[in-house]
Structure 1
Amino acid sequence: MPSKDKSIIPLMETLYSNFTNTETTIADFFIHNNKKQDFSAESISRKLFVSKASLSRFAQKCGFKGYREFVYRYEQTFNEEIQNVGKLKKNVLSTYQKLLDKSYTLTDEAQLKRISEMLLKYKKVYVYGIGSSGIVAMEFKIRFMRLGLNVESVVDAHIMQMNSVLIDEDTLVIGFTVSGKTKIVLNSLKEAKLRKAKTIIITSNNDFSLHDFCDEIVLIAVTKNLAIGNVISPQFPMLVVVDILYSHFLNSNYNEKASFLNDTLSNIEFELESELE
């Protein structure tokens, strides 16, 4: 992908909930800015009525050594062209492309490979999700079950609570929540952690407090700052991550998993043919 796909805007979006009021002002400016200009500390501090020290702290919270490094990355990946989309079809497809670009930026290949190895290690795997995230949890189960993984999706709040008694140190629990604020999913992950399970959350919200009870935080792209984000299926960025994770899992001991997949698909076809006879 071209270098502009490595925009730092998705990183700012995932960290948004951790920013102070001043840092939110700074983030909003860089996220919504659509033209090249003087991004020096002197210029931006005057424009936003913030101190240079605030700009420096903001840059460091984003993972940079200082504001100068942050601006260098921002200018390096800045896209001067403003999209002016008239037709709905082109608008929707353009938004999906932006989501893919953001997913490319946020995807941590080493992390997903590490998680695929966890899937092989633990005896029980539970995938939690409510609403749209629940649909992804069910899709996760179907996809990975075909590769021989002992996985169960839990998409009901009451069953999620009851399921906590089945969790122990041999369990891996994965929670899907786009906002990172779905209480039943967060509480279930906390309970799982207390029972010494391995826990993973897949979310767009890189809230630092999630590290207290999640061993891995897998970040997904968000649409809140895209022009028509409200018409894009919220499952899409989560499914992108699931697909990449699926590829890593399939690639580990490929021949065995491919054989298992062919067997399950053949069995499904046989059952369908039997029903049609």
Structure 2
Amino acid sequence: MKKTHIPKILLQLVLISFAAIQLYPLVFLFFFSLKDNNEIYGGNVMGLPRQFKWSNYENALFNANVGNYLLNSIFVTLVVILVSGVLACMVSYAIARMTVKINGIVKIFFSLGLMIPLHAVLLPVFIMLKNMKMLDTYQAIIIPYIAFALPMAIFFMIGFFQTLPKELEESAFLDGCSIYRTFFSIMLPLVRPALATISVFTFLSTWNEMMFAITFINSEKYRTLTVGIMQMVGKYTTDWGTMGAGLMVATVPTIVIYLLFSKQVQSGMVSGAVKG
């Protein structure tokens, strides 16, 4: 009995160690956000705050305009998730179901998008947006985000649609359902785990993206959270406690999304692995 308990105890110790390693940066950031510059420059960077400066969050949200940056990031991310999710489902369903020769070409076309780095298209996209007079607008970052989110989403969704039996659609057609009702009422609910998975991946990539946002957006009105926090670093001085509070505000949504959708993402990934 003792021999069987030893591996379990070792496994638990390893898991606890990994959990502590993963949680430490969040705990450090939280305590860091409650300090002022005097305490940080005084050498107390890693320890507990001597005095909890909750005013750092007030300064970050209102004085440093992090609240506006947060709303911009939420708006942009939601639009990208909704539009890319709908388009990816429609395109992947068409590729998986319609038996025409062009389907393979379309699949390869979108798969090539996975191989294009953001840096390679930065200048062409900038010139295109400038000619279309779309720089310094929400569209300047929403459209590129959608374009770069689609290849992975389509590639992921095709595999799920291909595993669904065609008898479901045939039965729906016999019952008088149109192709649109069949798609939205029957097929989409069946790929909900996959849709949740690509939504989370799209959220993370959009929420944390900075290169397009800092290049295509100049005015503070449309600035997203990542760029706004970066701008908090001053030329001569920086309020590190307020910046830490801003980073904490930017981190909370990702934690919430993980807690809400972790089971769906795990289900989608496991289903995709088994079906593939």
- Superposition TM-score tier, normalisation by shorter sequence: under 0.3
Bigger fraction of residues in strand: 1
Q: TM-score, normalised by structure 1?
A: 0.22
Bigger fraction of residues in helix: 2
Q: TM-score, normalised by structure 2?
A: 0.22
**Higher relative contact order (CA closer than 8 Å, sequence separation 6+):** 2
Larger radius of gyration: 2
